Amino acid sequence: MTHSTSRRNFLKGAGTLTAGSLLPMSLIELAFADISENFTFAYISDSHIQHIKGREFVRNWDQGLKRAVAETNLLNPKPDFVLYGGDIAQLGTKPEIDHGLELLSPLRYKVYYALGEHDYYLDLGEYWEREIGPQYYSFDHKGVHFVVLNSILTYEDWIKKWPTAEERMAVMAGLDNPKGSPFMVGEAQREWLRKDLEKVNPYRPIVVLSHSPLQKLFRNWNFWTEDAEEIRQILHRFHKVTVIYGHVHQIQYNQIGNTSFHAAMATAWPWPYPSSYAQAQNYMPKLTVPMNRADPFFERDATGWQLINIHSGNVDMHYTLYDNTNRVVAFNERSGRPLDLAYQASANQIPPQKHF
Amino acid sequence: MKKPSLGLLALTVVLGGIVQAAPPLGLPPVPIPADNPQTPAKVALGEKLFHDKRFSSTGEIACANCHEAAKAFTDSPKQVSTGVQGLTGTRNAPTVVNAAYMESMFWDGREPDLEHQSLQPFVNPVEGGLADHGPILEIVRSDPDYVAAFEEVFGKTGEAITMEEVSKAIASFERTIVAGNSPFDRWHFGDDEAAMSEQQKRGFDIFMTKGRCVSCHTIEQTHALFTDSEFHNVGVGINQIQDEVPPLAQAFLKAKAEGANVDKSVLTDPKVSELGRFAVTDDLSTVGAIKTPTLRNVAETAPYMHDGSLETLRDVVVHYNLGGKSEESQRVNPYLSGGIRPLDLSEQEIDDLVAFMEALTSPEYAKP
């Protein structure tokens, strides 16, 4: 850890010598590799912009996205770009996607978007694709190969069985709706991924952006990707793979084989949320599973955005927790897995899942 | 849950080596720092220093100018305070009453305690206007009354007297300015049903529930300070400059890194003032955040908020009812605290809340 001290001091010195850093020092992590190869990016996800009527949108969700955008714009040093993890919209409508993109438009960085099920199941991604771009793609940045997947596809039979697009969207929008269907990347996209990665050197770090976890955590809530094992097979030959996903609205991290998994917070609301959360009409999605969680006075509680630092091809996630202590989940070289820098006491650990 | 009995309150407690009166109804014991124990002579010295107008560049401004006992230790009804040569700052003078309980000082918490707070206004260009503390030390080292008092209190004379002793004495005086025993205290902690009106009781109910006030203006089991000592962006001032925050924040941090004084910057530049707690922490999640003030004696200290921009308590409640903006047409700033949201209060409920806040006035500050 001696490197960390010198790196920290270096950054501190640099901060005071130049314009003064807008980045709290706690957000900057050490680097072991060539410093010039390090970079950061911000990650914003799950804004669930919800149209009420006319020009009216749910204030709470608007405010969460506005805050994330405004704070990301204050970052100094600047992140290289922003990833958006999906679910701009709540019910996939044009007004929702338009309004969400409008709220994201003040971002002073390039934004790469992933598609969430709330963006997709009304028109199967047509409007999103028109406004934003392809549903899956890849790009390279400073030696890292980024892959953006549409991981929220599902079985064709399920997609076709609904009398209306609105009904299909509404069912998929319910977190614990038993009529839902498991997410997947699907065969066509897996084939594309295989081809995309063919030319990539196995020592090059891979970062995958998906909306669903690319793990199998909890099927009922679609904290799940049906073809996680197949994707793992495709990524198997790479030495360092990181999957960053949205959807779960909470901090999660895991290591399976060569792959680190990191979840992002939502800007809208945290899962789980309390059944007691009811005062004036608040548009919180109705949840049929009761949650053991106190009423958060602060509606931004456990929501936010994250700064991601890449060093040596692994990522450190920096979670800004409003009215709370910030958290950092960083790749630990010794144990070979991501660890929360604050919460590592073994007695407090839940054994990680080692299977898919 | 009404407590404690009046019999208990008649007791005195031994604190910091001297006998201290028990705190007034509704307040906890005053925390006294170990390195600055209270003594009657020190308190008297502090009171004299607090009122000494010579500690300013024009000989006209004492602490008491902006913290006047007859105005609940504020300068109500001024919007912002006036220093030397009629210069004005950017912020509304907070009361000294019960400042003894505060966990940080100034609206942005830029000083940790009373001992550090009082050093700043003397040398702020829009307050005491002194270039440094030199003139104050000259006076306290030579004025015969001060020479005797400092020797008695601190056992020090001449060069041994520094601003540390000056500010310790002022802090000791300020720690005696505590006030509880309001109609609310007599009702809530003293079981006196007649102490508050029915409307004030309805207002209390809204304060605790739909109004969401108590989440920051806290009430404990045995006492109520009406502040969580935290910092929140509630949409005052910052709303108007929200679009300028990125360049402002950058410029401020640059100036700070180059040695600019935060105390001077926030009181002389209205826009920097609105950066709030951020100016102290450099943490972007504290942009526009301001310390929660106590509500005790609030009916006597208009106007309101850190910039004195709201004239009446009703204006304040309306601001919160609109979800963090003073007018319907205003745009809420993106850094707004998650605790602030539209409340959907009726006109009656707003009036009730105002009536409740009028029940927080201690007898010694109530207007006849």
Contacts of B336 in chain A (CB under 8 A): 63, 67
Reference A195, options A140, A156, A236, A234; nearest CA is A234
B2 touches chain A (CB under 8 A): no
Work out the average pLDDT over A214-225. 90
> To the nearest 10°, the Cα dihedral for B287, A102, A263, B339?
40
Give me the residue label for tokens 């999660």. A252
| Best mutation target, B281, B285, B321, B337, to test chain A (most A CBs within 10 A) | B285
Q: b/e for B199-234, b at 16 or more Cβ within 10 A?
A: bbbbbbebbeebbbbbebbbbeeebbbbbeebbbbb
Q: Nearest-CA neighbor of A46 among A322, A345, A263, A196?
A: A263
Please list every residue in chain B whose beta carbon sits closer than 8 Å to the beta carbon of residue A66. 334
Give the confidence band of A3 by pLDDT, cuts at 50, 70, 90. very low
Q: Report residue A237 CA to chain centroid gap.
A: 24
- Determine contact: B37 vs chain A, CB below 8 A: no
Q: How far is CA A58 from CA A100, A270, A283, A284, A338, in A?
A: 11, 16, 7, 10, 35
CA distance A184 to A151: 5
Contact across the interface for B335 and A67, Cβ inside 8 Å: yes
* Count of A-B CB contacts under 8 Å: 80
How many residues comprise chain A? 356
Chain B residues in contact with A273 by the CB 8 A cut-off are none
Cα–Cα distance measured from residue B42 to residue B250, given in angstroms and rounded to the nearest whole number:
44
Burial label, B78 (beta-carbon count in 10 A; 0-12, 13-18, 19+): middle
For A72, name the nearest residue in chain B, comparing CA atoms only. B284
The phi and psi torsions of A56 (rounded to 5 degrees) equal: -95, 130
Reported as a single tens digit per residue, the pLDDT across A87-123 is 999 999 999 999 999 999 999 999 999 999 999 999 9
Residues paired with A330 in a beta bridge:
A316, A339
Residue type, B368: P
Reported as type and span, the H/E element at residue B21 is: strand B18-21
Identify the pLDDT of residue A285.
58
CB–CB of A249/A270 below 8 Å? yes
User: Strands, DSSP E only, in B31-149?
Assistant: none
**Residues on chain B touching A63 (C-beta within 8 angstroms):** 332, 334, 336, 338
Measure the CA–CA gap between A328 and A325, rounded to whole angstroms: 10
Shortest distance, CA A69 to any CA of chain B (angstroms): 8
Q: Note the pLDDT of residue A8.
A: 33
Question: DSSP string covering A45-62, please?
Answer: ----B-EEETTEE-HHHH
Mention every residue, 6+ apart, whose C-beta is less than 8 A from residue B179.
B24, B27, B97, B98, B296, B297, B362, B364, B365
> Binning pLDDT at 50, 70 and 90, where does residue A282 land?
low
The alpha-carbon radius of gyration of chain A (Å, integer) is: 20
Q: What is the pLDDT of residues A149-204, one digit of tens each?
A: 999 999 999 999 999 999 999 999 987 778 999 999 999 999 999 999 999 999 99
C-alpha count within 13 angstroms, C-beta hemisphere, residue A85: 33
The answer to whether B202 and B352 have CB atoms below 8 angstroms apart is yes
- Determine whether the interchain pair B253/A67 forms a contact, defined as Cβ–Cβ distance below 8 Å: no
User: For residue A79, which of A42, A54, A46, A104 has the smallest C-alpha distance?
Assistant: A42
* Among B215, B336, B344, beta carbon nearest to A280: B344
- pLDDT values of chain B reduced to their tens digit, one per residue, 368 residues: 344 444 343 444 444 444 457 899 999 999 999 999 999 999 999 999 999 999 999 999 999 999 999 999 999 999 999 999 999 999 999 999 999 999 999 999 999 999 999 999 999 999 999 999 999 999 999 999 999 999 999 999 999 999 999 999 999 999 999 999 999 999 999 999 999 999 999 999 999 999 999 999 999 999 999 999 999 999 999 999 999 999 999 999 999 989 999 999 999 999 999 999 999 999 888 999 999 999 999 999 999 999 999 999 999 999 999 999 999 999 999 999 989 999 999 999 999 999 999 999 999 999 87
Encode pLDDT of A46-87 as tens digits: 999 999 999 999 999 999 999 999 999 998 888 899 999 999
Query: To which H or E segment does residue A260 belong?
Result: strand A259-263
Task: Provide the terminal-to-terminal Cα distance of chain B, rounded to the nearest Å.
Answer: 32
| CA-wise closest residue to B174 among B117, B257, B252 | B117
The residue that leads in pLDDT, B234 or A285, is: B234
Q: Is residue B262 within 8 angstroms of chain A, CB to CB? A: no
Using CA atoms, how far residue B302 sits from B66, B72, B100, B135, in Å, is 13, 10, 21, 34
Find chain A residues with C-beta within 8 A of B343's C-beta.
280
Q: Which of B339, B103, B332, B80 has the alpha carbon at shortest distance from B232? A: B339
Give contacts of B335 with chain A, Cβ < 8 Å: 67, 70-71
Flag whether the ipTM exceeds 0.90. no
B212 with A297: Cβ contact below 8 A = yes
Q: Do residues A16 and B278 make contact, with C-beta atoms less than 8 angstroms apart?
A: no
Would you call A19 and B230 a contact, using CB atoms and an 8 Å cutoff?
no
> Tokens 């028990």 sit at which residue?
B22
Residues 168-197 of B with CB under 8 A from A: none
Any A CB within 8 A of B222 CB: no
Judged by CB atoms closer than 8 Å, whether chains meet at B336 and A63 is answered as yes
Q: Give the gap in angstroms from C-alpha B200 to the nearest C-alpha of chain A.
A: 22
Q: Which of A24, A73, A320 sits opposite B246 (nearest CB)?
A: A73
The verdict on A78 touching B (C-beta cutoff 8 Å) is no
Say what the pLDDT of residue A247 is: 95
Interface residue A346 vs chain B (CB under 8 A): no
The answer, for A323 touching chain B at a CB cutoff of 8 Å, is yes
A288 close contact with B: CB closer than 8 A: no
Cα–Cα distance measured from residue B345 to residue B89, given in angstroms and rounded to the nearest whole number? 34
**Do the chains contact at B336 and A15, CB–CB below 8 Å?**
no
Chain B contact present for A277, CB below 8 A: no
For residues B204 and B196, the answer to whether their CB atoms sit within 8 Å is yes
Using alpha carbons, select from B42, B89, B51 the residue that is nearest to residue B69.
B51
Amino acid at B164: E
In this structure, are residues A19 and B254 in contact, taking their beta carbons and an 8 Å threshold? yes
- CA-to-CA distance for A128 and A94, rounded, in angstroms? 8
* Percent of chain A at pLDDT exceeding 70: 81
Closest-CA residue of chain A to B242? A70
Residue bearing tokens 């091809």 = A313
Q: What does R_g of chain B's alpha carbons equal in angstroms? A: 21
How close are the terminal C-alpha atoms of chain A, in Å? 33
Q: Does B256 touch chain A (CB under 8 A)?
A: yes
Token pair listed for B56: 């300013």
3-class secondary-structure state, position A2 = helix
Residue A144 near residue A135 (C-beta atoms within 8 A): no
Spatial separation of the C-alpha atoms in residues B342 and B330, rounded to whole Å: 13
The burial of A64, by beta-carbon neighbours within 10 Å (0-12 exposed, 13-18 middle, 19 or more buried), is given as buried
Cβ–Cβ below 8 Å for B284 and A74:
yes
Q: CA–CA distance from B20 to each of A52, B4, B11, B172 (Å)?
A: 60, 18, 10, 13
Q: Which residues contact B116 (CB under 8 A, 6 or more apart)?
A: B105, B167
Calculate the average pLDDT of chain A: 83
Q: Which of A12, A58, A67 to mutate to test the interface with B (most CBs of B within 10 A)?
A: A67
